[in-house]
Amino acid sequence: MVKLIYFAWIRERIGKSEEDIELPDNVKTVGDLIAHLKQRGDGYEVALEVPEVIHVAINQEHSQHSDIIGDAREIALFPPMTGG
Amino acid sequence: MVKLIYFAWIRERIGKSEEDIELPDNVKTVGDLIAHLKQRGDGYEVALEVPEVIHVAINQEHSQHSDIIGDAREIALFPPMTGG
Amino acid sequence: MDKAPTIRVQVEDFDLQTEIDALTNGQRDIGAVVSFTGLCRDDKGALAALELEHYPGMAEAEMLRIAQEAAERWPLNGVTVIHRYGKIEPGENIVLVVAASKHRQAAFDGASFMMDFLKSKAPFWKREIRKDGSESAWVDARDTDEEALKRWR
Amino acid sequence: MDKAPTIRVQVEDFDLQTEIDALTNGQRDIGAVVSFTGLCRDDKGALAALELEHYPGMAEAEMLRIAQEAAERWPLNGVTVIHRYGKIEPGENIVLVVAASKHRQAAFDGASFMMDFLKSKAPFWKREIRKDGSESAWVDARDTDEEALKRWR
C-alpha cells in the first residue's frame, strides 16, 4: 500500500486530496504510476492529461518520471509550483 | 575665493577641516590645485604626497584631476571612500 | 554555517527586523544581511486575495534543502526562510528569505539563489480570488522561473 | 519611479520593517522588496567601535544620484538609502539599502548596484577604535570595491 497525495488543480480534478492504493506489479516507475492512475476514471484522466506538467515527489522529495518507486510510503502528485 | 574642505586623514594631516583661499591664475585644473596646495607647508605635503589617491569633489560632485575648476564655490579633498 | 537555518511555514505575518535580529544576534562577524520579501501584488485592481496551498512536511523539508545548498555554495553565517500560506491580500507579505555573511556578494547571491529555487521547487500553489466573485483561478507557473534556475548550474 | 527616493544620513539606528512599510505602503503593484543591511563587523575581537565621518550635503546628494541611477536602469517602484555616522559598535547597523519592484530580479539588481556604488562613491570614511586603546586607524579602501563597479558598465 502506498499513500497518494494530490495538490492544487490535480486535487480538484481527481476530487480527493489523498488515498491509499495497492500498486500493480507492472508499475515500476513514476511514469508507470501516472499511466496507471489515468485509467482509474474521468477525474484522473483530466487531471493527468498532460503528463509533462505533472510533478511527483516520493517520500517528500522531488522525483523524475523515470525514477523507480521502490518501497515508497508516500507519493505526491502536483502541478508546477507557484510559491515564493 | 574658494572654500576648501578636507576629510579623514587628509584633514588630520593638513591640520584643519576647511579654509578659504584665493586661487592663483595658473591653477586651472584639479591637478593644478593639488600641486599648488602641496607647496603650502609640511602638512599639505604629507597629506597630498600621492596625488593618485586624492579624490576631489567640486561643488559636491566627484571630479577628475583633469577637470577645470572654473568658478567653483566649494572644493573638497578626501581619501578613497570607505562607507557602506 | 555556524547556525542552523531557520525554516518556517506559517499563516501569521512576519516582522523583518525581528527575524534579522534573531539571525545576527550575538554574532560579531556578520557584515552583510540581504533580505528578500515577496508580496501579494495586484496589477489590475481585480484581485481580492491569493489563497496559498502547500504540502505540509515537504514544504519545510524542501526549504531546508534549498537553505543548506545555499550555505554549501557561499560562506553564509546564517539563513532564514519563511513562507506563509492561507489567504493573503494585496500588499501583504508572502515569503521572506534572509542571508547573512561577512561580505555583501555572498549575501546577495545566497538570497537570490534561495528565491529562485523556492519559486520552482518549494511545494506551494497560489489561487487568485477575484473581487467580482468570478471563479477563482490557479496561478500559472512562469517559464522565466524555470529559466532563472539555469544560471546557478 | 512613482515615489521619490528616501535618502537619510543619521546618527540613529533604523528599523528595517518600518522602512519597508513606509516604502511599500499604499502600493499594490510591488511584488518584491530586497534590502541590504551593512553591519559593523569585528573579526578579530579587537574592535571597540567604528567612527564614521561623512561630508554633509554631498553625502545626501551622492546617495540620491545613486538611487536615481538605479531607478533609471531598472523598473523600481521605490528605493530607500540610509547611512549612519558617528560611533558604531560591532553588531550595529551602518547602512541600509532597499529596492522595491514588481519582480524580484530588478529588486535584487537595483539593491546590489546601489550598494556597490555607495561603497566607492558615497563620501563616508571609517576609523577603527580599538579595545586596547592603541592609536585608531583609518580603514583602507578595498580594491575589490572598485572592481565591483565594473560589472555595471
Looking at residue D136, what is its pLDDT?
Answer: 84
- Asked if A78 has any chain C CB less than 8 Å from its own CB, the reply is yes
Instruction: For chain B, give every domain's residue range.
Output: 2-78
- The Cα–Cα gap between D84 and B63 comes to 25
Which residues in chain B have their CB less than 8 angstroms from residue D67's CB?
none
For residue D130, the model assigns a pLDDT of 94
A10 touches chain C (CB under 8 A): no
Q: What would the mean pLDDT of B63-72 be, rounded to a whole number? A: 96
C41 at A interface, C-beta within 8 A: no
Subunit partners of chain A (3 or more CB pairs within 8 A): C
Which residues from chain D sit within 8 angstroms of residue C27, using beta carbons? Answer: 91
Query: Which SS3 state, helix, strand or coil, does residue C81 take?
Result: strand
* Interface touch D125/B5, C-beta < 8 Å: no
User: Does the beta carbon of D25 lie under 8 angstroms from any beta carbon of chain B?
Assistant: no
What does the pLDDT look like over D97-129, one tens digit per residue? 999 999 999 999 999 999 999 999 999 999 999
Asked if D119 reaches chain B (Cβ–Cβ under 8 Å), the answer is yes
Provide ipTM, 2 decimals: 0.94
What is the structure's pLDDT at D147? 87
Q: Can you give the length of chain B in residues?
A: 84
Q: Please give the Cα distance from D23 to C91 (Å, whole number).
A: 11
Phi, psi of C85, rounded to the nearest 5 degrees: -135, 175
Rounded Cα distance, D92 and C103, in Å: 15
What pLDDT does B43 receive? 96
Task: Kindly write down the DSSP assignment for every residue of A34-62, as one continuous string.
Answer: HHHHHTT-HHHHHHTSSGGG-EEEETTEE
* pLDDT band, very low/low/confident/very high, at B56 (cuts 50, 70, 90): very high
> pLDDT at residue C133 above 90?
no
pLDDT for C18-57, tens place per residue? 999 999 987 899 999 999 999 999 988 899 999 999 999 9
* C71 vs C80: CA distance, rounded Å: 11
Strands C76-84 and C93-101, bridge-based pairing: antiparallel
Residue D135 has pLDDT above 90, yes or no: no
State the sign of the Cα–Cα–Cα–Cα dihedral D25, D29, D32, D34. Answer: negative
Residue identified by cell 538609502 is: D81
Interface test with A, best of C37, C55, C135 (most A CBs within 10 A): C55
Mean pLDDT score, A24-48:
96
pLDDT for res C135: 80
**D139 residue type, one letter:** V
**Residue in D59, D6, D65 with CA at minimum distance from that of residue D35:** D6
Q: Does C138 touch chain A (CB under 8 A)?
A: yes
Q: Which CATH architecture has domain A2-78?
A: Roll (3.10)
Residue among B76, B80, B84 minimizing CB distance to D55: B76
> Could you tell me the domains of chain D?
6-152 (3.90.1170.40)
- pLDDT above 90 as % of chain B: 100
d(CA A2, CA D30): 43
Cell of C33: 544581511
The pLDDT assigned to A3 comes to 98
pLDDT at C147: 87
Q: State residue B2 phi and psi, 5-degree precision.
A: -130, 145
Among C140, C118, C129, C142, smallest CA distance to C54 is for: C118
Q: Using the 8-state DSSP alphabet, how is residue D146 labeled?
A: H
Chain D: touching chains (3 or more CB pairs < 8 Å): B, C
What are the tens digits of pLDDT across the range C58-70? 999 999 999 999 9
Measured CA to CA, the distance from residue C125 to residue C51 in angstroms comes to 8
Comparing alpha-carbon positions, the chain A residue that sits nearest to C61 is A60
Q: Which three cell numbers stand for residue A84?
A: 515564493
**How many angstroms separate the CA atoms of C43 and B32, rounded?**
56
Q: Any residues with CB less than 8 A from the CB of B67 and at least 6 apart, and which?
A: B29, B30, B56, B58
Q: Which chain B residues are closer than 8 Å to D60 by Cβ?
A: none
Q: Output D43 or D14, whichever has higher pLDDT.
A: D14
Count other Cβ atoms within 10 Å, centred on residue A66. 9
| Res. B33 pLDDT band, cuts 50 70 90 | very high
Q: Return the C-alpha cell found at C150.
A: 539555469
The dihedrals phi and psi of D36, each to the nearest 5 degrees, come to -120, 125
